[in-house]
Amino acid sequence: MAAAKPGEKSKPAAKPLPPLPNRPITGADLKAWLKEAIDRQREGDVEGAIALMHRVLNYKPDDATTWMNLGVLYRRHKNSDMALACYERAKAMTPANGGLWGNIGNAYKDLEKYDLAIAAHQKAVEVEPKTVGLWHNYALCLTESGRPEQALPLFDKILAQQSDHIDAHWDRAMTSLRLGNFSERTWQDYDWRWRLQELANYRAPTTAPLWRGEKLMGRTLMVYSEQGFGDTLFALRYLHRLRGLDGKVILRCQPDLMRLVGKVADFCELASARAATPPHDLALPIMSLIGLFTRAWGDIPPPPELTIPEGAGAKALPRLSIAGDKLKVGIIWSGSVTFRGNARRSVTLERFLRFARIPGVQLFSLQKGPPFEEYRKLAPHPLIVDLGSHFADFADTAAVLKKLDLVVMTDSSVAHLAGTLGVPIWDMLNHSCYWIYFLNREDSPWYPSMRLIRQKTPGDWDELFERVALDLEKLAAERTARTAKK
């Protein structure tokens, strides 16, 4: 086993498979291997579980259930093509299995082949019309494919039968918000996020009662960050609504944002999310501010004014001089890798190299985190100059953003920062993007300086990058012409 890198945990040695007996294989053997495969799956040993199912199918290739379970494992292993192949084997034996049709639909959805996915989900609910989970998968596929109006009645149908269906509440909230529906019911659904399985390990920093918008009457309210950096930056605009509550307000946020948000929260006490929770009487997660104060488009406030502290960006700013008179364009190709949907919204650094060929353009990488390893391997300097590794926090990022002519990126927290600062930004969006970008529009009601550039076909980044390249060529040529006249 290879040695672990500094700070990285060693991967445990793979558990060996049970030995084959020196006798004919029996049904009991197959049953035992299947049980162990399920146990290994629960323990996270997906590869071991797959190997055991392969063994079972070598001896019993007509076992539809094993084929279906193997498909489920391949899908969890991010191999939807293999999953579909297994599901097809199972379907040949049990064509009237609603759960199998639902699995087929989910695999096609992963591949963003939405027409095939929807057809499979329709077949699933036709075969098993009383199975709530199949209706939920169908509704989720509709909203992700860009058909939220068709999905909403299905979520309503699910919740009429099972009012405590956590995922249906959350997905109905996401679907409603994509449609610009800011009703009270939508925000009530949005609050179901804390019961989601993916947030099961999240622990709020308080057990204090939830603030409902009332006067504080001398009490202390703590507003605390949740989810990612982008969510905090996005919701900051609502902080001014907390002035004059006749009490004390504390903003507890990520340390990397603290130097930047101090002026926005000048009437608050500022606390670090990594420090001990300060005393307080009431609490509210920051994204819930939006639900308290937004019922219509006109309720959306402008971005707050951020004050960049003196000395921010000192290590990165001198590197901008390499651009000379060229258009200074910042790029980011990936958001946080811990975000479940990051693979679909992100691309590779290599896609941006085509922009480096455009005369009059100098690219600067703003990328941080694990995706920056692509830059190290590709080593594109000076075609793309690294700035991101010189950022200590978001104040450094903000200082550099203000000196750029344009940011071209896939969606991440820096999009929120650039939009808040009023920096021109082209935000390249996958087909099924975050709800704040709504549907079809090219502008953002949240960020006036932001242009939204969407995939026309799910998963098709090639066409999107072609459009961006043409627009960037035009912008650079206009810049060069203006410079030549001076």
Structure confidence by residue, pLDDT tens digits, 390-430: 999 999 999 999 999 999 999 999 999 999 999 999 999 99
Element (H, E) at 462: helix 461-485
| Domain identity same for 132 and 245 | no
* 13 inside domain: no
Q: Are residues 117 and 233 in the same domain?
A: no
10 falls within a domain: no
- Bridge partners, 386 (sequence order): 365
pLDDT, position 245: 92
| pLDDT of residue 451 exceeding 70 | yes
Q: Is residue 445 part of a domain?
A: yes
Q: How large is the C-alpha radius of gyration of the chain?
A: 26
Find the CATH number of the domain harbouring 474: 3.40.50.2000
pLDDT at 9 over 80: no
Q: Residue 266, exposed/middle/buried by CB under 10 A (0-12, 13-18, 19+)?
A: exposed
Q: Does residue 45 share a domain with residue 189?
A: yes
288 & 346 share domain: no
Domain boundary pick from 164, 196, 228: 196
Q: Do 66 and 190 sit in the same domain of this protein? A: yes
Return the structure tokens found at 467. Answer: 């459009």
- Quote the pLDDT of residue 434: 94
Domain boundary pick from 154, 181, 196: 196
My answer on whether 160 and 63 are in the same domain is yes
Same domain, 270 and 338: no
Q: Determine the straight-line distance between the first and last CA of the chain, rounded to whole angstroms.
A: 63
Task: Give me the DSSP letters along 40-108.
Answer: HHHHT-HHHHHHHHHHHHHH-TT-HHHHHHHHHHHHHTT-HHHHHHHHHHHHHH-TT-HHHHHHHHHHH
Domain ranges, residue 292: 220-296
pLDDT at 190: 96
Instruction: Name which of 5-19, 181-195, 276-290 the model is least confident about.
Output: 5-19
Residue 290, in any domain of the structure = yes
In which order are the strands placed within the sheet that holds 282-285? 269-272, 248-253, 220-224, 282-285
The reply to whether 290 and 321 lie within a common domain is no
CB 130 within 8 Å of CB 153 = no
Q: What is the CATH number of the domain that holds 159?
A: 1.25.40.10
CA dihedral sign of residues 242, 247, 248, 254: negative
Alpha-carbon distance of 407 to 328, in angstroms, equals 9
**306 within a domain of the structure (yes/no):** no
Residues 336 and 445 in one domain: yes
In a domain, 374, yes or no: yes
Is a pLDDT exceeding 90 seen at residue 174?
A: yes
Q: What is the pLDDT of residues 261-297, one digit of tens each?
A: 988 988 999 999 999 999 999 999 999 999 999 999 9
Q: What is the largest CA-CA distance in the chain?
A: 89
Map residue 121 onto helix, strand or coil: helix
> Does residue 122 contact residue 138 with C-beta atoms inside 8 Å?
yes
| Residue at a domain's end among 296, 329, 364 | 296
Residues 6+ apart with CB under 8 A from 241: 289, 292, 293, 301
User: Do both 266 and 392 map to the same domain?
Assistant: no
pLDDT tens string 347-375: 999 999 999 999 999 999 999 999 999 99
Residues 113-131 pLDDT 10s: 999 999 999 999 999 999 9
44 versus 73: the higher-pLDDT residue is: 73
Same domain? For 63 and 177 the reply is yes
Can you tell me the mean pLDDT for 35-51? 90
Quote the CA–CA distance of 162 and 139 in Å, as a whole number.
15
Mean pLDDT of the chain: 93
**290: number of CA atoms within 13 Å, CB side?**
23
Q: Return the DSSP state at 318.
A: G
Total structural domains within the chain: 3
In a domain, 441, yes or no: yes
Asked if the model's pLDDT at residue 135 lies above 80, the reply is: yes
Residue 101 lies in a domain: yes
Distance CA 419, CA 236 (A): 12
Lowest-confidence pick of 36-40, 154-158, 247-251, 451-455: 36-40
Residue 384 has pLDDT above 90, yes or no: yes
User: Which tens digits make up the pLDDT trace of 436-449?
Assistant: 999 999 999 999 99
Residue-wise pLDDT tens digits, 302-358: 999 999 999 999 999 999 999 999 999 999 999 988 888 898 999 999 999 999 999
Structure tokens belonging to residue 123: 């077949």
Residue 286 shares a structural domain with residue 344: no
Confidence (pLDDT) at 13: 59
- pTM for the whole thing? 0.91
